[in-house]
A and B are shown apart, each in its own frame.
Chain A
Amino acid sequence: MSDSDDLLQTRILELLPKLRRFARSLTRNVHDADDLLQSALERALAHLDQWQADTRLDSWLYTIVRHAWIDELRSRARREHTFEDPGQAEAVPDRRGDASGTLAVDQAMACLPAEQRVAVALVLIEGLPYKEAAQIIGIPMGTLTSRLARGRQALQQLLEPGDSA
């Protein structure tokens, strides 16, 4: 392994807290999130040569985490014999909230269809520019902004049911 790969590993180590946050916002459960990230890291390390030095390392890793998550949703869907497209929806949203019906943020996130959740996580939580987020997901900017809009609207309604526009 060359010096540049060593440097790359150090940079990846520094990104772990952010990657964990991203994984957590996708999966909600701490252990699932770390499992997801671990398998994504294994993929990333096995394909370090595929990262292009003139692109953002964090974006490349977000892309791999997202792929690993979508794969996980697909295989879970297969296990449960559902034919739902995991890109559109995820099974078993937990809609319990407090007495007023208000959900905690993580519960509300878990109610979003997978691709809206990714868009919201990348832009609102990770703070990435639209362009970068669209590239990570592999969609045009227009698709990203409409997913964001729908995701925001749903979250607004879930988090403040009486107060939505």
Chain B
Amino acid sequence: MTIPDETLAAYVDGELEAAERARIEQAIAQDALLAQRVAQQRALRDRLRGAYDGVLQEAVPQRLAQAVKRGAPTGPAQVIDLASVRAERARRGNGQRQVKLRRYGIAASLAVGLMAGILIQRLAAPGAMTEFHDGALLARGALAQALDEQLASSPLPGAAVRVGLSFKSRAGNYCRTFAFSAGRSLVGLACRDQDQWQLLNLTAAEGSAAPGTTQGMRMATSALPPALLQAVNDHIIGDPLNAAAEAKARSAGWH
């Protein structure tokens, strides 16, 4: 009996009706060559499946789960991609955006204050990294020093604080993201306020320490926790500073 490849494939794929399946099985029992063709088809299917099944065991990256959860307006961060946010902003002007910011802004700043207070109390970091002053959370100690001096383009190995992305804010001052580890990993955003760095965001990072600052590269936006990314999105104007602009801003004392 001649059986076309497509029929054999359909048999292996479980697509044949019972009667047809029985006919094929009978033919296989009587024809070694046919049995071999079926085995070959089955082996291909198993091999393909085997090559990709490992993916099912992998941990799903956080950013994918977040892309799903962001569908809910209750989620903390609505937007992830800097470029698309800027494009969107440019397209529709600022009206809607400000409404949105008002909606999230109050909750967000409360959250930062609360979170920061709780986290900082738990830190017991060597030398205080922060201090509340007139209602603002300011960088102190090693954090202030890193924000003043460190270049993301040439990080110090073993530094307690690592600086990620630097940019000019909509208010015209410089802002920098940072990460440090003290019991747990924290990331945040600080903006220059006169001669101080004011923390606008402080977030517990998921996973390993100092996200986005590995290999001295500027932070990949996808590596930032959504709350921090939202804070960056809210303040950034233009593109993040490149290495040359970062060095220049430092030598100008971040003014």
Q: Are B51 and A105 neighbours in the complex by a CB distance under 8 Å?
A: yes
Q: Are A24 and B55 neighbours in the complex by a CB distance under 8 Å?
A: yes
- In whole angstroms, what is the CA distance A34 to B68 when docked? 13
How many positions in chain A have a CB within 8 Å of any CB in the partner chain?
42
Q: Are B52 and A38 neighbours in the complex by a CB distance under 8 Å?
A: no
The answer to whether residues A146 and B73 also contact, given A9-B68, A21-B56, A38-B67 and a CB cut-off of 8 A, is no
Kindly identify which residue among B9, B53, B55 contacts A148, using a CB–CB cutoff of 8 Å: B9
Q: Are A124 and B65 neighbours in the complex by a CB distance under 8 Å?
A: no
- Determine if B239 is an interface residue (Cβ-Cβ < 8 Å): no
Q: Are A152 and B9 neighbours in the complex by a CB distance under 8 Å?
A: yes
- In whole angstroms, what is the CA distance A6 to B69 when docked? 9
Q: Are A41 and B68 neighbours in the complex by a CB distance under 8 Å?
A: yes
Q: Are B15 and A149 neighbours in the complex by a CB distance under 8 Å?
A: no
8 A Cβ contacts from B1-60 to A? 5-6, 9-10, 13, 15, 37, 40-41, 44-45, 47-49, 51-53, 55-58, 60
Q: Are A106 and B53 neighbours in the complex by a CB distance under 8 Å?
A: no
- Determine if B250 is an interface residue (Cβ-Cβ < 8 Å): no
Q: DSSP class of B's interface residues: helix, strand, loop or mixed? A: helix
> Shortest CB–CB separation between residue A147 and chain B, in angstroms?
11
Segment touching B, from A11-19, A52-60, A74-82, A85-93:
A11-19
How many positions in chain B have a CB within 8 Å of any CB in the partner chain?
34
- In whole angstroms, what is the CA distance A145 to B6 when docked? 7
Measured between beta carbons, the chain A residues less than 8 angstroms from B118 are: none
- In whole angstroms, what is the CA distance A13 to B58 when docked? 14
Kindly identify which residue among B5, B41, B57, B63 contacts A34, using a CB–CB cutoff of 8 Å: B63
Measured between beta carbons, the chain A residues less than 8 angstroms from B60 are: 16-17, 20
Contacts from A to B (Cβ < 8 Å):
1, 5-6, 9, 12-13, 16-18, 20-21, 24-25, 34, 37-38, 41-42, 45-46, 48, 104-106, 109, 120, 123-125, 127, 129-130, 145-146, 148-149, 152-153, 155-156, 159, 165
A-B contact pairs, 11 of them (CB 8 A): A13-B68, A17-B60, A20-B55, A21-B55, A38-B63, A38-B64, A48-B71, A106-B51, A149-B6, A153-B5, A159-B44
